[in-house]
Amino acid sequence: MPVMDVLTPQEASFIATNCYFTLKDWINNAPTAGTETMANIHNRVLGAGTAGKPNPQAVNPSLKSTSLAGGKLHAVVDGTTGMGTCTGFGYLLRVNKGHDRHAIIATRGTRPELGAPDLLTDARAAMTGFGDYGPVHKGFKKTFDSVLSNLARDNRVVMDADVVHCVGHSLGGGVATLLAAHFARQGKQVRLYTFGSPRVGAFMSYSAMHQTIGKQNIYRVAHDLDPVSLVGPFPYIHVNPAVADENNMTLPSRTGSLFSTANHDMAAYIDSVADKPRATWDMARSLARQTDHDNCVLAKWLLHDSGESGWVQFASAKTLGILFKLFSHVLKGISTSLILGLTAVDLLAEMLLNGMTKAALLGEQIFTLLRHAATWAGITVSKGAQFTTLIIGRILSTMLSRLNSMAMHAIHAGANHLVAMPLAIAGGFALAHSVAL
């Protein structure tokens, strides 16, 4: 733990991975609802990493070789997801560095083997209040409440720490964000590290979190084609959302496919930012600068006005992936979505919430795209027809339904590989329905 009491990329990514071992029988490649024994968790978090069945393809995320090796596994933290199922959800690690005391709270992501309990957490797309921060994702808030309640008996360890580190992947990144915001409001110095996190707060909530936690203390890592980090449309917004944000470390994906589960897997994140023990956040930032956030050439090609519909011809996962990056070349200075580094899907959601006035400012080119999108979604719109919120809503619902279906397939197809897989993305689908229909 070098400069400024910040975890290294390797330490943070190992923590985001090894907290999955709190789930019962994860070490035996057969996770079930329950909590693993403290001895086995210690072995995997701080020890030799030998407990359970060996998995030669998996990264061994033990902290034994890091500067955190002298830490103490103070507690295993349970969490309640979905329909009230309580499982091992993470841990509390206590580390002393010189005169400074550090508390590390790690929270895991969704597991498809648990079925509805875990996945339903992600499907709760409704918003709920989060103190004076504003509205946040209801499902994540529910799990946060359960984790915070289970942390209560160890609250003294957290409150006595000089620095509190909150770390999580996927759903765990969403919960870690709420934990960081909570303890920052309690006056603690907080560092937040997320990998492939979904969006947690609504339009103004993310800004309040910036002010309380400190943008410089939020280390958000995502692959640019990780579907979990993309879906959950406006008004949900990431912390450190803008391309120019120093700690928005949106990295080139390990694959060229939006729906490859590898883009969300923690092993891929370790490979991206922590493949060397001496990896630094500056290295991750340098890699993030290689990410293409514009894709103007592809956008203009898809927006061509020839007789054939480019949208129909390329109606595939690849096309849907391109859709996420289509709009930036015609939105400069007009859309909230561009300013905050959001996507085409967010623009459609923003249209639904704010009316069609903004759409009218975008000109005929944007309506050409919308006509192609409508055709792709199976909606007939004549060339001179006006786009209404109902039509936009149907396009958005179809996009999110397709994305949700593919993500769910990816989750269940990858379950047997026993690496951290994506959370369900039903939340965005439900939001589209609640707004548009």
Q: Please, which pLDDT band fits residue 373 given cuts at 50, 70 and 90?
A: low
Q: Which is more confidently placed, 186 or 118?
A: 186
The span from the CA of 200 to the CA of 182, in Å, is: 13
Please report, rounded to a whole number, the percentage of residues in the chain having pLDDT higher than 70. Answer: 61
**77 — pLDDT class (breaks 50, 70, 90):** very high
pLDDT number for residue 323: 46
Asked if the bond preceding 54 is cis, omega within 30° of 0, the reply is: no
What average pLDDT does the segment 83-100 reach?
88
Compute CA 219 distance to the chain's CA centroid, rounded to the nearest angstrom: 12
Structure confidence at residue 314 (pLDDT): 39
Same domain, yes or no: 253 and 367: no
Q: Where are the beta strands (DSSP E) in 34-84?
A: 72-81
Quote the pLDDT of residue 244.
84
CATH number of the domain at 153, please. Answer: 3.40.50.1820
Residue 16's pLDDT band, with cuts at 50, 70 and 90, is very high
Least confidently predicted of 6-15, 227-236, 361-370 = 361-370
Among residues 81, 5, 10, the alpha carbon closest in space to that of 266 is found at 10
* Gyration radius of the chain's alpha carbons: 21
The answer for residues whose C-beta is within 8 angstroms of residue 14's C-beta and 6 or more apart is 61, 62, 63, 66, 270, 274
52: left (phi over 0), alpha (psi -120 to 50) or beta: left
Residue-wise pLDDT tens digits, 109-128: 876 555 544 444 444 457 78
pLDDT of amino acid 171: 86
**Which pLDDT band holds residue 260 (cuts at 50, 70, 90)?**
low
Residue with tokens 């919308």: 370
Residue 139 and residue 37 in one domain: yes
- Structure-model confidence comparison of residues 411 and 160, the more confident one: 160
Q: Look at residue 436 and tell me whether its pLDDT is greater than 70.
A: no
Is a pLDDT exceeding 70 seen at residue 303?
no
Q: What pLDDT is attached to residue 243?
A: 81
249: alpha, beta or left? (left if phi > 0; alpha if psi -120 to 50): beta
Same domain, 125 and 26: yes
Inter-CA distances, 277 with 10, 13, 39, 271, Å: 6, 11, 26, 11
Neighbour tally for 405: CB within 10 Å: 13
Judge if 342 and 193 occupy the same domain: no
Give pLDDT tens digits for 378-432.
Answer: 777 766 666 666 777 777 677 666 555 544 544 444 333 333 333 333 333 333 3
pLDDT of residue 108: 92
Under the banding of pLDDT at 50, 70 and 90, the label for residue 138 is: confident
| The token pair that represents 216 in the structure block | 């410089």
Q: Please tell me whether residue 395 adopts helix, strand or coil conformation.
A: helix
Res 242 pLDDT > 50: yes
Q: Are residues 257 and 279 in the same domain?
A: yes
Q: State how many domains the chain has.
A: 2
Give the confidence band of 99 by pLDDT, cuts at 50, 70, 90: confident
Average pLDDT over residues 346-368: 58
**Residue 231 confidence (pLDDT) above 70:** no
Of the three residues 244, 265, 288, the one that is the final residue of a domain is 288
Nearest to 169 by CA among 103, 247, 89, 236: 89
Question: 18-33, pLDDT tens digit by residue?
Answer: 999 999 988 888 888 8
Max mean pLDDT range (87-96, 226-235, 241-250, 267-276): 87-96
Q: Say what the pLDDT of residue 3 is.
A: 54
Average pLDDT rounded to a whole number, residues 174-190 = 97
Banded pLDDT at 214 (limits 50, 70, 90): very high
Tell me the pLDDT band of 342, cut-offs 50, 70 and 90: low
Tokens found for residue 239: 């912390």
**Dist CA 234 CA 237 (whole Å):** 6
Q: Are residues 62 and 7 in the same domain?
A: yes
Q: Which two tokens stand for residue 275?
A: 């493949």
Q: Which amino acid is at 382?
A: S
pLDDT over 60 at 258, yes or no = no
The lowest-confidence range among 44-58, 104-118, 143-157, 183-197 is 104-118
CA distances from 7 to 10, 104, 415, 431 (A): 8, 10, 30, 35
Does residue 151 sit in the same domain as residue 260?
Answer: yes
pLDDT at 125: 57
Same domain (yes/no): 91, 209:
yes
pLDDT higher than threshold 70 for residue 82: no
Please indicate, yes or no, whether residues 252 and 309 belong to a single structural domain of this protein. Answer: no
Distance CA 330, CA 357 (A): 15
Final residue before a domain boundary, out of 238, 272, 288: 288
* Domain end marker among 262, 288, 314: 288
Per-residue tokens: 406: 């593919």
- Could you give the C-alpha distances from 259 to 59, 308, 327, in angstroms and in order? 22, 26, 20
Q: Is the domain of 237 the same as that of 300?
A: no
Same-domain status, 63 and 32: yes
Residue span of the structural domain in which 76 resides: 3-288
Residue 101 has pLDDT above 80, yes or no: yes
Residues 137 and 166 in one domain: yes
Is 91 or 258 the better-scoring residue by pLDDT? Answer: 91
Q: Are 14 and 63 in contact (CB under 8 A)?
A: yes
